[in-house]
Structure 1
């Protein structure tokens, strides 16, 4: 037994040794929402071709750190490690350099890598975010072995005429060796760079050249080139196919003969996919392939590579093994523990908190078929919005094009769009809602659905109600009464009086009046018609109003997927936690008509689906009783009386 244990320990040590011996290190500077989106496409292209374990090193600002740390944690790609380094701590190293490049201070950060990265890291591949790989990155890593003893940096020649200084009259570039080198792809021999005093050397070079040049035009690239001009023996020139530059004024077509020779494509033109090149269709298709590629497929284990499983993936594996595959509701239970990839703040997001602590975020979730509601909601609600979108990689790109083309959406920066990537057979509605809820930045949230239009002025009215009802110091859920129209073209009521007359005329109805009155009956619409002050209502079975609560409210129960009981269970938990349900007398929202969702059709047509929903309800009741004791018995009684 002792020998067996010793052998397995030795095997584990050998596995770890092999893992680290094959480990490839990749560094990227990534700041802001757009670069965070671009870097995902780069990472997908690397993961698609790789056979080795990888360690990504990201120099990030706060925005990119939040986005990428959540993305990689939820992606759970085997044999991939990720480390983050705070760009703010490095800014002082380069902030003294005047720089005209659009990348700003982040365009100079690569100069700091010997300092930023761990001191025991000897080699690293450094990449810009606008790069696409067409081959295994291990081939590039292997070039380190071809370095002579003196070479410390590997680069591809610049494929534009920039450093030749003949692009326009009086064009004066920084000094460079011949055509100069492009820094979109760099092999950095960190250990040797530290040994020769790289930090001091590049600084002296920059200081000397800035006396006549006054500022950099191409950020770090100018300083790298000036350094190489003074020390040509230190550079190892890489074949041009390791960085085919598609910028303007390039001669990249002359640097390769066959498209099949290409290894790395660099979209370094401001025009990106609209560049002129005889093979641009091939390049564009390769890029779009990775842009829309299903990232879940990259979770597969590497062949012949011992997996360094994260604690999250180990937990998930253990939870899956505990499930009973013969259970009729196995698929539902599996869905509850599935980890979905999440890309927070997919688009630019800006929010400044208000001084009075009454701000409120509209929180909702949607999928591709509800996209047309976004513009209308933005017109009805001027406050911050947190939306979680359940989509595939390809659909997320469709959404991006839609948002960038919409005048309404592109001018709204206080909307946080969070992509939850599709996986599994059910719509994990409560998980998606929780992503939107957790990423609201305001003290209060308005929990609604995407197919409802809030009344004009609701944002301001709710903020006043929050103060008036002292929500900061009390446990209240403010109910916004829900109505619906069956007409696709509705002249939206401007006031409560107008809404009441439309109700009397039959243009509007109380929500779900025809099919599920219980869902909103406790709102007491008869009382609301004449109410002028907020009034309290009692919880009743199946009540599922849309409410305003403090952001620290309970989250949604993720066992409920698809159709049925996803909101009901949430309101029940609010009641169990003794929130008072208060109906607002001058607030309303209207449901707009749409085709039924796929999940409601499944619920109606599948007895198995309905059986499992009943099973999950019973288990939820039991959990509620355990959590809240005898106070939760009323829910069980109410359920049995239905």
Structure 2
């Protein structure tokens, strides 16, 4: 009987642990190195900034180096801000120990960090949102097995289905980024949103959409050949500000993410996308500019020069120009971020 009781207890504990680690709605919550409230103004002690990042297959390529740079810059550039950083990490079982190790390493180094760490299992997230992102994959995927064919590039438009409904705002960041200013300053940009704006994204700083839209421009004629026309440069999804509360309450949102709407806009612009959710945000900006806040380019200073070597040597600099203060570098297309 004594052995039987021990077995029951062991099974119960195992079941609880299994549920905690496998259900994204009961995400594992780890608070790392939160200092005493002596370092936090009493009226700010409970303020939080919700940051979301996807880190999967971290054993491939330079992803670990990128994540280390990202997280170090996040905690080292906090400035005078004393809000709690709620870092939501969407990852897989293989990557999680490595991610956890990096976070704890720099949390010890920057002891002023106020961090709440929440993990979401990547596969469980996909189960929740797969019906919503299927149209995005259908229209904005170049080919199966290509870099942007990975499901991780389609998550953000359906993130409101994963995040707690009580969460009002969130910032989604690519792993190949490095802060030069505090994320708190970025979060303050939400105050600049108009009453209708749901998303905040910076302009795409390459001619990729100028290139994609060549058929449409030629079809429309000379009037539409200027790259400045209706912000044809598009948007870059390396940094996305999501006003989740408004997305939940917006009656048009489900229509915008529906296969019918996407198909109609793709046909209208003769658009053949291949950059995941970024293509969707760009098309929304063409049709519903009132829904998108245009984040200054300094909050997503892309460094990729691929197009400069692929047909746009003469005009690339005019697309890539960003004369604003740089708050965040984005080393897209595996471009190294130069050390400070």
Give me the TM-score of the superposition, normalised by structure 1: 0.37
Task: Summarize deviations over 1:126-176 as a string: whole Å, max 9, x none.
Answer: 11111111111111111101111111111111111111227989999xxx8
Partner of 1:242: 299
Q: What is the aligned counterpart of 1:225 among 276, 279, 282?
A: 282
Q: What is the aligned counterpart of 1:67 among 87, 94, 98?
A: 98
Which ranges of structure 2 fall in alignment gaps of 5 or more residues? 1-36, 219-229, 308-315
Q: Is the 8 A contact 1:177 1:232 kept in 2?
A: no
Q: 1:223 to 1:253 in 2, by over 3 A?
A: closer
What SS does the aligned partner of 1:62 have?
coil
Q: What is the aligned counterpart of 1:194 among 245, 248, 264?
A: 248
Q: Is the 8 A contact 2:205 2:320 kept in 1?
A: no
What SS does the aligned partner of 1:165 have?
helix
Q: 1:82 to 1:231 in 2, by over 3 A?
A: same
Partner of 2:11: none
Paired residues for 1:172-321 under 5 Å? 177-197=231-251, 198-204=253-259, 205-209=261-265, 216-248=273-305, 249=307, 250-251=316-317, 254-256=321-323, 261-270=325-334, 272-273=335-336, 284-286=338-340
Give me the TM-score of the superposition, normalised by structure 2: 0.67
- Higher gyration radius (CA): 1
Partner of 1:49: 77
Q: 2 CA distance for matches of 1:188 and 1:158?
A: 18
Partner of 1:102: 147
Asked if 1:157 corresponds to 2:203, the answer is yes
Partner of 1:343: none
Number of residue equivalences: 259
Task: Summarize deviations over 1:332-386 as a string: whole Å, max 9, x none.
Answer: xxxxxxxxxxxxxxxxxxxxxxxxxxxxxxxxxxxxxxxxxxxxxxxxxxxxxxx
Cα root mean square deviation, aligned:
3.2
Q: 1:269 to 1:171 in 2, by over 3 A?
A: farther
Asked if 1:89 corresponds to 2:115, the answer is no
Deviation at 1:241, TM superposition (A): 0.9
Q: Is the 8 A contact 1:29 1:110 kept in 2?
A: no
Q: Is the 8 A contact 2:168 2:244 kept in 1?
A: yes
Paired residues for 1:313-392 under 5 Å? none
Paired residues for 1:361-440 under 5 Å? none
Which ranges of structure 1 fall in alignment gaps of 5 or more residues? 1-10, 274-282, 287-642
Q: 2 CA distance for matches of 1:69 and 1:140?
A: 25
Deviation at 1:208, TM superposition (A): 3.6
Partner of 1:135: 181
Q: What is the aligned counterpart of 2:54 among 20, 24, 29?
A: 29
Task: Summarize deviations over 1:564-586 as a string: whole Å, max 9, x none.
Answer: xxxxxxxxxxxxxxxxxxxxxxx
Q: Which has the higher contact order (CA 8 A, sep 6+)?
A: 2
Partner of 2:21: none
Q: Is the 8 A contact 2:213 2:271 kept in 1?
A: no
